Structure formats: C-alpha cells, structure tokens
C-alpha cells in the first residue's frame, strides 16, 4: 500500500540536523547542545528537541543529530530554523565539519 503524500500548501516542517563532533569533547558538547535545546524549548512553547548519536564503533569522531518539531500547523518555520542555526553558531568549536540540515514533512496515509 502506497502512502498518500501531504500536499497542503504549508506542510508541517521538521528539522533533522546532523554533524560530527570530536569524541574527546563529547561530554562538553552534550552539555552545551542540550543547554541550547532547553533554552530554545523555553522560548518556543511546543517545540520538541532531541539529540541522537549514531551507534558506530568507537572512533575519534561521532555523528550526532538534532531533531526539531513544533506542535504548530506549519511546524518549524524558516524563521525558527534560522534561530536554531544562530544559537548553534556559538557551538562551532565542537563540530568537525559543517552541520547539515534536512527538512522533512510527514506523509499522510
């Protein structure tokens, strides 16, 4: 059975942001990123923010992913996406390379 793709004029946007961090700084990075997410949730009621780590064998770097969704008709707006990126800019010292942002919308069935 095929899913019916959401075709509304303003799909619900969710963000998936992934990047690599130095394993040696993982504890400090975790504290800083979860603090940033807590502040964003306080500023934006209804915002859900998660932090995930890829389950790879131990290496000098780790792949992490931030996930953001908003309990709102349109989800994460481009303005909120820019706000998240602005807050993350001060955390660049933890990133090994760029942060990659992917925007997804749920499929309706």
Model-level pTM?
0.86
**Could you give the CA distance from residue 39 to residue 72 in angstroms, rounded to a whole number?**
19
The pLDDT profile of the chain, 109 residues, written as one tens digit per residue, is 444 454 555 579 999 999 999 999 999 999 999 999 999 999 999 999 999 999 988 899 999 999 999 988 789 999 999 999 999 999 999 999 999 999 999 887 5
Number of domains in the chain: 1
Within a domain: residue 103? yes
Phi, psi dihedral angles at 52 (to 5 degrees): -120, 155
Domain that residue 74 falls in? 42-109
Within a domain: residue 36? no
């Amino acid at each position: 059975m095929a899913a019916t793709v959401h075709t509304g004029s303003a799909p619900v946007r969710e963000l998936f942001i992934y990047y690599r961090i130095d394993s040696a700084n993982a504890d400090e990075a975790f504290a800083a990123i979860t603090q940033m997410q807590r502040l964003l949730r306080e500023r934006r009621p209804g915002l859900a923010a998660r932090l995930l780590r890829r389950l790879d064998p131990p290496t000098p770097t780790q792949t992490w992913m931030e996930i953001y969704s908003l309990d709102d008709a349109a989800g994460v707006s481009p303005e909120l996406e820019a706000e998240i990126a602005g807050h993350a800019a001060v955390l660049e010292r933890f990133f090994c390379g760029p942060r990659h942002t992917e925007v997804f919308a749920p499929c309706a069935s």
